[in-house]
Amino acid sequence: MSSSALEPAAPDLVCQMDNVQGMVDAFSAVRWKRHQDAVIELSEHGVVLIVEETSCLQAKVYLQRELFIRYEYHAEGRPRFGVSLGLFVDCLNTFSAPGRSSIIEIRYPGPDMQLLIKSVDSLDACIYAEIRTRIPDTISWDYNFEPAGSSPLSFTVKSAALKEAIDDLEWPGSSIKISLQPAPPCVTFKGEGHGDLQIDFMYYANTDLLIAFQCDHQISYRYKYKFLQAATSNLPSSVIRDNRGSKLTMGRGGMLKVQHLVSVARPSTSHPHVDSAGYQQPSRIAYIEFFVKPEVNEDAANDS
């Protein structure tokens, strides 16, 4: 028997990342309850983490392969495995030191199908962790997002303003109706319950808050408050600090897509990272998407 026959098969993925805190921020943004399972999907293009709640809310974190300083992919197809999201985030946190750029290596699978993580940037010590994985349940609903028509129904609002508006809408104790109207261009969030609260974002009146708007007909849908809150409650402080915008799009049937951008750039130091081509790498971004099903179709006739 040849020696090569005795060698273990190469893992599906070996990758390294130089900003653990950025990964923690991105995954924490979709952690809306204490005990939460996640599905991780691997591909040659990068890593996607998926979480779901009662077939009405789904979130995805995209870490494109360009975010990693090393990305070796050997699998066929797109392997998936399940993990505890809380355990995964807490584990990554142990590799992140404030004010310091840590480099970690992630391998999957280990000998017993574990997710293996270790630090690789210290000569003095090595932190090593194994996370047990499971066979994932089937994703229970189709999260493919379809446009509502030929013209997009979308708006982009400053993330801090969006989070503040949804936080304020908690006290009416009801579902939230989101309405878009083209003339005058306006987005309205309205809660009617123990009290009434309406928040308007006028496009031309305050383009510092509502920074983009596309709508050619009036439309409105209601969404459960807890699902809208989950889409904004754990935005990383870096998103607020960087004054980023969040994009909301209404798709066919009132499916709401909420998109955030989280920086996973290496923290700036006195010696910024310069790649082999001799130039400094640009800021790197993780893409986060939430898909929220409507509670009540308020205006189905206008969504044809």
Concatenated DSSP letters for 234-282?
T--HHHHHTT-EEEEEEBGGG-EEEEEEEE-PPPP-SS--B-TTSSBPP
| 143 found inside a domain | no
| 19 found inside a domain | yes
For the stretch 144-179, pLDDT in tens is: 788 887 888 999 999 999 999 999 999 888 999 999
Note whether 168 and 269 are same-domain residues: yes
> What's the pLDDT score for residue 229?
95
Note whether 218 and 182 are same-domain residues: yes
pLDDT band at 302 (very low <50, low <70, confident <90, very high): very low
> What's the pLDDT score for residue 275?
42
> What's the pLDDT score for residue 140?
62
- As for how many domains the chain has, the answer is 2
| 3 found inside a domain | no
> What's the pLDDT score for residue 91?
94
Which CATH number do you get for residue 99? 3.70.10.10
| 227 found inside a domain | yes
> What's the pLDDT score for residue 243?
83
pLDDT band at 257 (very low <50, low <70, confident <90, very high): very high
Type of residue found at 9 = A
Q: For residues 185 and 4, give the distance between their C-alpha atoms in angstroms, rounded to a whole number.
A: 66
Q: Are the beta carbons of 257 and 143 closer than 8 angstroms?
A: no
> What's the pLDDT score for residue 304?
43
Q: Terminus-to-terminus CA distance in the chain, angstroms? A: 65
Q: Please give the share of the chain, as a percent, with pLDDT higher than 90.
A: 62
> What's the pLDDT score for residue 238?
83
Highest mean pLDDT among 31-45, 87-101, 114-128, 137-151 belongs to 31-45
Q: Please give the share of the chain, as a percent, with pLDDT higher than 70.
A: 85
Q: In the numeric block, which tokens belong to residue 135?
A: 């066979």
| 68 found inside a domain | yes
**Residue 268 in this model has a pLDDT that exceeds 80:** no
| Enclosing domain of residue 78 | 10-131
**Residue 48 in this model has a pLDDT that exceeds 80:** yes
pLDDT band at 272 (very low <50, low <70, confident <90, very high): very low
For the stretch 23-33, pLDDT in tens is: 999 999 999 98
- Tell me how far the alpha carbon of residue 104 is from its chain's centroid: 21
Mean pLDDT of the chain: 86
| 85 found inside a domain | yes
Q: For residues 131 and 112, give the distance between their C-alpha atoms in angstroms, rounded to a whole number.
A: 10
Note whether 19 and 57 are same-domain residues: yes
